[in-house]
Chains A and B, each alone.
Chain A
Amino acid sequence: MQDPRTSIIEKRLQNIKRVIAVSGGKGGIGKSVTSSLLALALSKEGYKVGLLDLDLSSPSDHVILGIKDVMPVEENGVVPPEVNDVQFMSVVFYAQDKPTPLRGEEISDAIKEILCITRWNNLDFLIIDMPPGIGDELFDTIELFKKTEFLLLSTSSKVVFETVRKLMILLQEMRIPVLGIAENMKRKEESFVREVCDKYKLSFLGEIRFDENFENAVGNVEKILHTKVFKDIQKIAKTLSKQIV
């Protein structure tokens, strides 16, 4: 018994230069905002960018970027729509606004199916918004994308960092490239995240300031571009685009 999807997935991803998965293990640390804005920032830098929302149970990138009334176009698979110069794919196009409760093997099947049908353009970067957890989606991403680089997101909370640390150890154990750690929701000057990066010999990719007005910009890209959050992520995007892997 052969799964024909694995043969075609490799072909579907062959024209993507770099795949960056934004992860942190913990929920609510800003992975979706960071992924969405990173894709926007790289696109503003002139790169061809795709954004894949891999959070199957609570996809939210479309809410952040205000993406509505568009659908992938069926053409020997499906071609994801381009919105704000970012090619965007999410399960939300098919599950609509309904909850999609999936268990282990079903999650893997859904991810394989998405990758199997999606025809990306030639991309410089594909940004993957990873769901919380260090289970199915993480292993599927590593297995199916082959060349994934991880951008880890933490806050200055010790509770959050405990999970980030575990994810980091796991990725290092599996010899998966980790680009570094970015500190999100930065509120105070002192922080241990930078020191931790030194300890684990990881790059500190930058700080993303907490912006209490960000919520007002959600769903409106024009407003997002003027937020502190976007400006900080833009700096991270510049750093990432200069990194040679």
Chain B
Amino acid sequence: MAEAVIQTAIDVAKREGFKKVTLIKISLGELQGIEREIFDSAISELLKMQGNVFVNTKVEVNIVRTRFRCRACEHEWTFKDISETLDEGVRESIHFIPEVAHSFMRCPKCGSPDFEVLEGRGISVTSITGEK
């Protein structure tokens, strides 16, 4: 995922003609369970490998809590509400493919498998700022 973020920053820098990328803002959804320490360290290592355009680039990470809504009964709940009921193997599967949450979770109120992730699904790059 860190590689994907840096590749996005490289693509945007090229497209926008940035001589320096000053700030990368990232949003991390709780559902994907990315370990912050490992992610930060991977980002920082990858940035070092990119040369002048990415010297002194700041990275801001915003963690977004996961909220679900049942499409059948409209009940809303958070990942925190149910995460303790999921074993480690299931959490790891959701980490790789967040959509498999639909294999292991049901609406806590009505039991429906038809629910949506309102926010906090995965990773996105919210902005990339640079100097031309």
Interface assignment of A102: CB less than 8 Å from any CB of chain B: yes
> Which of A2, A101, A110 has the most B CB atoms < 10 Å from its CB?
A2
Given contacts A4-B4, A11-B7, contact A110 B97 (CB under 8 A): yes
- In addition to A99-B113, A106-B99, A117-B96, 20 A-B residue pairs with Cβ atoms within 8 Å of each other are A1-B124, A2-B8, A2-B12, A2-B126, A3-B125, A4-B5, A4-B123, A4-B125, A5-B4, A7-B11, A8-B7, A94-B93, A98-B100, A100-B102, A101-B102, A109-B99, A110-B97, A113-B98, A114-B97, A116-B4
B14 to chain A, nearest CB (A): 11
> Which of A4, A103, A113 has the most B CB atoms < 10 Å from its CB?
A4
Specify which chain A residues have a CB less than 8 angstroms from the CB of B102 in the assembled complex: 100-102, 106
Interface assignment of B3: CB less than 8 Å from any CB of chain A: yes
Residue of A nearest to B117 (CB): A106
Of residues 105 to 134 in A, which have CB atoms within 8 Å of B's CB atoms? 106-107, 109-110, 113-114, 116-117
> Which of A1, A5, A56, A94 has the most B CB atoms < 10 Å from its CB?
A94
SS class, residues of chain B in contact with chain A: helix
Q: Measuring CB to CB, which residues of chain B are less than 8 angstroms from any residue of chain A?
A: 1, 3-5, 7-8, 10-12, 93-94, 96-100, 102-104, 113-114, 116, 121-126, 128
B35 to chain A, nearest CB (A): 12
In the A-B complex, the 9 residue pairs with the closest CB atoms: A98-B103, A8-B4, A4-B4, A110-B99, A7-B7, A94-B93, A2-B125, A95-B103, A4-B8
Interface assignment of A78: CB less than 8 Å from any CB of chain B: yes
Complex-state Cα separation, A100 to B102, whole angstroms:
6
B117 to chain A, nearest CB (A): 8
Given contacts A76-B3, A94-B93, A98-B104, contact A4 B124 (CB under 8 A): yes
22 A–B pairs (Cβ distance < 8 Å), ordered by A: A1-B124, A2-B8, A2-B12, A2-B125, A4-B7, A4-B123, A6-B8, A7-B11, A77-B3, A94-B96, A94-B103, A98-B103, A99-B103, A99-B113, A103-B114, A106-B99, A109-B98, A110-B99, A113-B98, A113-B99, A116-B1, A117-B97
Specify which chain A residues have a CB less than 8 angstroms from the CB of B100 in the assembled complex: 91, 94-95, 98, 100, 110
Residue of B nearest to A57 (CB): B102
Complex-state Cα separation, A99 to B8, whole angstroms:
33
Q: Which of B1, B94, B114, B123 contacts A101 (CB 8 A)?
A: B114
B59 to chain A, nearest CB (A): 13
Interface assignment of A216: CB less than 8 Å from any CB of chain B: no
Specify which chain B residues have a CB less than 8 angstroms from the CB of A102 in the assembled complex: 99, 102
Specify which chain A residues have a CB less than 8 angstroms from the CB of B7 in the assembled complex: 4, 7-8, 11
Specify which chain A residues have a CB less than 8 angstroms from the CB of B122 in the assembled complex: 109, 113
B118 to chain A, nearest CB (A): 12
Specify which chain B residues have a CB less than 8 angstroms from the CB of A114 in the assembled complex: 97
B112 to chain A, nearest CB (A): 10
Residue of A nearest to B121 (CB): A109
Q: Are A91 and B4 in contact (CB under 8 A)?
A: no
Q: Which of A7, A95, A101 contacts B8 (CB 8 A)?
A: A7
Q: Are A4 and B1 in contact (CB under 8 A)?
A: yes
Q: Are B98 and A7 in contact (CB under 8 A)?
A: no
Complex-state Cα separation, A237 to B114, whole angstroms:
40
Interface assignment of A243: CB less than 8 Å from any CB of chain B: no
Given contacts A98-B104, A99-B103, A101-B102, contact A8 B97 (CB under 8 A): no
Q: Are B124 and A100 in contact (CB under 8 A)?
A: no
Residue of B nearest to A77 (CB): B3
Residue of A nearest to B124 (CB): A1
